[in-house]
Amino acid sequence: MKSAVITFPGSNCDRDMHVALNKFGFKNQMVWHNDNELPKSDLVVLPGGFSYGDYLRCGSMASKSKIMQSVINFAKSGGLVMGICNGFQILVESGLVPGVLLRNRYLEFICKNVFVKIDNKDNPYFKNLNKEVFEFHIAHNEGNYFCTNDQLKEIEDNNQVAIYYCNNNGKTEEKFNPNGSLKNIAGIFNKEKNVLGMMPHPERMIDKSLSGEDGSFFFKNLINNIR
């Protein structure tokens, strides 16, 4: 299985993602933002970081990078595109998933482990997972998900919420919401569920002795789903 991770100027989780993808069996290729064409891939990942220094709005400049037209075409043709953290911000700015990511409610950069609950497994990312609650890491200043009431209705009607912030038992109450996100939303899909954007970093949870293994479950399952 082939994957591609796009490196934008200011990306800093691109190599972590490269390590994670290779560890679980992908043959990953790094792609520079100024390239025109994506290599043949089964999965394209927009990594975390601070692309273009977060100027103007997080992800706004990166969403207009040369490679993004190719990523958008790949997504529109049904290809799997996953955006993590700043990658999620790039996805919303490029219009591949609905909504926006505002500054965190209390204006603080949040860097900690959180629990998220998977709501819907009828998609290529979470299909066949035998667990619902995952411990992932978040590190962001703009992760406060927001969309219009019309968009929210459409998102909920189409089961597009991918993950919610919750506690270790999977309770999705407001007090477990770290950043003020609408309805505790931590990640969403596009309508077709081939594009996934989420704030938490599964690639930081792939080593038992360093962090945790919940990311390992996610990546192992993902590659099996694609095979």
* Active site amino acids: 85, 201, 203
DSSP string, 142-206: --EEE--HHHHHHHHHTT-EEEEEE-TT----GGG-SS--GGGEEEEE-TTSSEEEESSBGGGS-
Q: Please state the closest distance from residue 146 (CB atom) to other proteins, in A.
A: 7
**Of the two residues 5 and 101, which places its CB atom closer to other proteins in the complex?**
101
Per CB under 8 A, the segment of 66-74, 103-111, 202-210, 213-221 that binds other proteins is 103-111
- Residue 128: CB atoms within 10 Å: 10
Minimum CB–partner distance for residue 148 and other proteins (Å): 7
First to last CA, the chain: 7
**H or E segment at 20?**
helix 14-23
Tell whether residue 54 is a contact of other proteins (CB under 8 A).
Answer: no
Nearest residue (CB) to other proteins, 188 versus 205: 188
Contact segment (CB under 8 A) with other proteins among 36-44, 56-64, 71-79, 190-198 equals 56-64
Q: Which of 49, 44, 52, 54 has the alpha carbon at shortest distance from 1?
A: 44
Q: Which is nearer to other proteins, 146 or 217 (CB)?
A: 146
Residue 161, strand partner residues: 188
H or E, element range at 215: helix 214-226
CA distances from 85 to 130, 147, 149, 157 (A): 24, 17, 23, 25
- Options 5-13, 53-61, 159-167, 194-202: segment touching other proteins (CB under 8 A): 53-61
Span interacting with other proteins, options 21-29, 93-101, 153-161, 163-171, rule CB under 8 A? 93-101
- 57 in contact with other proteins (CB under 8 A): yes
* Integer Cα distance of 137 and 44 in angstroms: 21
Which of 106, 128, 131, 153 forms a contact with other proteins (CB under 8 A)?
106
The single residue among 12, 113, 151, 158 that binds other proteins, judged by CB under 8 A, is 151
List residues bridging with 195 in a β-sheet: 81
Q: Is 64 in the site for other proteins (CB under 8 A)?
A: yes
Chain positions 165 to 184 lying near other proteins, rule: CB under 8 A, are: 180
Vertex 134, ends 129 and 138: CA angle to 5°?
135
Q: Report the interface residues with other proteins, using CB under 8 A.
A: 56-57, 60, 64, 93, 99-100, 102-107, 144, 146-148, 151, 180
